[in-house]
A = this chain, B = another copy of it.
């Protein structure tokens, strides 16, 4: 399931202000003697995951995992047939599910992500990821990564950057695939987590996942998660929704050269078009304030030659 590696020359990007802004920033912070030069230990970049590195529409990938797991567990839970949010999940009734709100979502997560060891959870996610397919593209979710962003990862790596994922998604969910599809190892993945507890079962120590939130890594908690896991303020941040606003604000407010980038999904033909009315994936404040803050706003339609690794570049046609 390894993705096509990225191209450090940003081959999947059209020439334009966005591509140029990325290249200029990297050149400035890596040129010895340049006033914006940054030593390698401080070349830290953070990336949101859903909608920034891979597709998050029509629903975030982890949500499909939860729905499939509800179905798999349903035979042991006959009571779910008549109880929300489980009934809606089993019937894939998205309107009824949405009506259960964040509480419903949390209940689904706890019912599907807890009560097992970390090892068992990793195996479950691995098995699921190896077979589950996206409803529109018919591809594995792990194939639906953005080639232009793989290019950015490759460019930053080639220039001595250390890269972290900073997502509102589950930290242990993402870690099962982050190294294979992005080349980002588990210790460089930051996200939401539930409580785990050390237990010795019949002489064998395990970590049990409990149905209790430990850290909700979205929005204003993104800088908090970065501080907790990285311990240094990054110099570059990449996101796509207002859930990333605080992260971009914090990163780009530091001294010296800073870089903030927001992907605006405006290409319904090749992927999806969504912004101000996109619920959890809403992008509104970022569009309004980003340009004045010096952030680069990327148009999928105009800036990306290819969206996915399997796309053919049709832009030259």
Whether A231 and B186, one on each chain, are in contact in the complex, defined by CB atoms closer than 8 angstroms, is yes
Q: How distant is A27 from chain B, measured CB to nearest CB, in Å?
A: 25
Whether B246 and A171, one on each chain, are in contact in the complex, defined by CB atoms closer than 8 angstroms, is no
Q: How distant is A40 from chain B, measured CB to nearest CB, in Å?
A: 11
A189 interface residue (CB < 8 Å to B) = yes
Complex Cα distance, B41 from A193, in Å, reads 23
Residues of chain B lying within 8 A (CB to CB) of residue A250: 198, 205
Residues of chain B lying within 8 A (CB to CB) of residue A162: 187
Q: How many copies, total?
A: 2
Binds B, one of A30-38, A145-153, A222-230: A222-230
Instruction: Identify 7 residue pairs between A and B in the complex whose beta-carbon atoms are under 8 Å apart, listed by A's number.
Output: A118-B227, A186-B230, A186-B231, A186-B232, A187-B230, A200-B249, A204-B253
Q: State which residues 204-258 of A face B: CB under 8 Å.
A: 204-205, 207, 220-221, 223-224, 227-232, 246, 249-250, 253
Apart from A118-B227, A171-B231, A200-B249: 18 A-B pairs, beta carbons within 8 A? A41-B185, A171-B228, A175-B231, A185-B231, A186-B232, A187-B231, A189-B231, A193-B228, A196-B228, A197-B220, A198-B220, A198-B223, A198-B224, A205-B223, A207-B223, A207-B224, A207-B227, A229-B229
Whether A196 and B230, one on each chain, are in contact in the complex, defined by CB atoms closer than 8 angstroms, is no
Complex Cα distance, B215 from A197, in Å, reads 12
A143 interface residue (CB < 8 Å to B) = no
Most interface-central of A41, A204, A229 (chain B CB within 10 A): A229
A172 interface residue (CB < 8 Å to B) = yes
Q: Nearest 9 pairs between A and B by C-beta? A: A186-B231, A198-B220, A205-B250, A175-B231, A198-B223, A187-B230, A205-B253, A196-B224, A207-B227
Interface size class of A (residues with CB under 8 A): 20 to 34
Complex Cα distance, B178 from A232, in Å, reads 13
Contact with B along A62-84 (1 / 0, CB 8 A): 00000000000000000000000
Residues of chain B lying within 8 A (CB to CB) of residue A186: 230-232
Most interface-central of A172, A207, A228 (chain B CB within 10 A): A228
Residues of chain B lying within 8 A (CB to CB) of residue A253: 204-205
Residues of chain B lying within 8 A (CB to CB) of residue A179: 41
Contact with B along A166-207 (1 / 0, CB 8 A): 000001100100010000011111000100111010001101
Q: How distant is A165 from chain B, measured CB to nearest CB, in Å?
A: 11
Q: Which of B197, B200, B220, B232 contacts A224 (CB 8 A)?
A: B197
Complex Cα distance, B226 from A162, in Å, reads 20
Residues of chain B lying within 8 A (CB to CB) of residue A185: 41, 231
Q: How distant is A300 from chain B, measured CB to nearest CB, in Å?
A: 28
Cβ-closest chain B residue relative to A41: B185
Contact with B along A1-23 (1 / 0, CB 8 A): 00000000000000000000000
